[in-house]
Amino acid sequence: MARLTVTDDAIGQLRDMIRSGAVKPGDKLPREPDLADALGVSRNSLREAVRALSLLRILDVRQGDGTYVTEVAADTLLAALSVVIDFHSDATLLEVVQVRRLLEPAATAIAATLIQEADLIELEAILERTTTSSSVEELVMADFEFHRRIAAVADNSALAAILESLSGPTQRMRVWRGTAEAGALERTFAEHRAILGALRDHDADLARSWAAVHVAGVENWLRLNLKARESVEPAP
């Protein structure tokens, strides 16, 4: 738990640097060893913090070049960071998935009314990049990209930013589910195909329903497993 606390502290300090204007959109962060020393954290903890913020597209990690602050709106930045800081609580994680279940179907329904052929081709390409022989991590990343693209098609930057802040930091939980639950990956494949089919038909109601089923499956699995874990852990 100590390592998670240090990582949270590193995220908070990076947030404060951006909010204060010490580093601005487009600026390159100091070299990793220098930044770790300045923040008083280990390089491993700093890497985890940078990875979390890069998932939210607040930081842009460019291999061989460095890490940059993205051109992200201040309100979007604050909303995303306020969520990711507290994600190490099981109760918070379940609440976040519940909020995603409310918002994801709405975004998918809006996307069904606006989606263009180019968007459908891109979504199809995302799904085709993975097969049942792909690693769980690859499948989870494809899932993340699939839903992020749908949210972008909905053409509401605030909704897209909120959904990304809810979805990105739960990837480890989805890897856990993909590894532990029999048939989870096959169901995810089938549900993605159903969502894409509804989008292709511009059927907003059906798109909303399949997105709700998709996220509700994750929520139900998480709730059951957290209860099971509580039942076998000794009381403090």
- State yes or no: pLDDT of 84 exceeds 70: no
What's the pLDDT at 168?
63
Structural domain boundaries enclosing 97? 89-232
In-domain check, residue 81: no
- State yes or no: pLDDT of 49 exceeds 50: yes
Domain end among 41, 72, 103: 72
Phi, psi of 60 (to 5 degrees): -120, 110
Domain end among 72, 98, 123: 72
Ordered DSSP codes for 32-90: HHHHHHHHT--HHHHHHHHHHHHHTTSEEEETTTEEEE----HHHHHHHHHHHTTTT-H
Mean pLDDT, the chain, integer: 82
- Residues written for the chain: 236
CATH of residue 94's domain is 1.20.120.530
List pLDDT tens digits, range 183-234. 888 888 899 999 999 999 999 999 999 999 999 998 898 888 888 776 665 5
Asked if 110 and 203 sit in the same domain, the reply is: yes
In terms of pTM, does the model score above 0.85?
Answer: no
List pLDDT tens digits, range 166-195. 776 677 677 777 777 778 888 888 999 999
Asked if 17 and 56 sit in the same domain, the reply is: yes
Asked if 30 and 122 sit in the same domain, the reply is: no
How many domains does the chain divide into? 2
Asked if 133 and 165 sit in the same domain, the reply is: yes
Asked if 124 and 64 sit in the same domain, the reply is: no
174, two tokens = 């989805």
Give the 3-state secondary structure of residue 30.
coil
Asked if 159 and 211 sit in the same domain, the reply is: yes
Beta-carbon contacts of 36 under 8 Å, excluding residues fewer than 6 positions away, are 42, 43, 45, 46
112, two tokens = 């069904």
pLDDT band, very low/low/confident/very high, at 3 (cuts 50, 70, 90): very low
What's the pLDDT at 2?
37
- State yes or no: pLDDT of 4 exceeds 50: no
Give the residue with greater pLDDT, 90 vs 146: 146
Mean pLDDT (whole number) for 94-98: 84
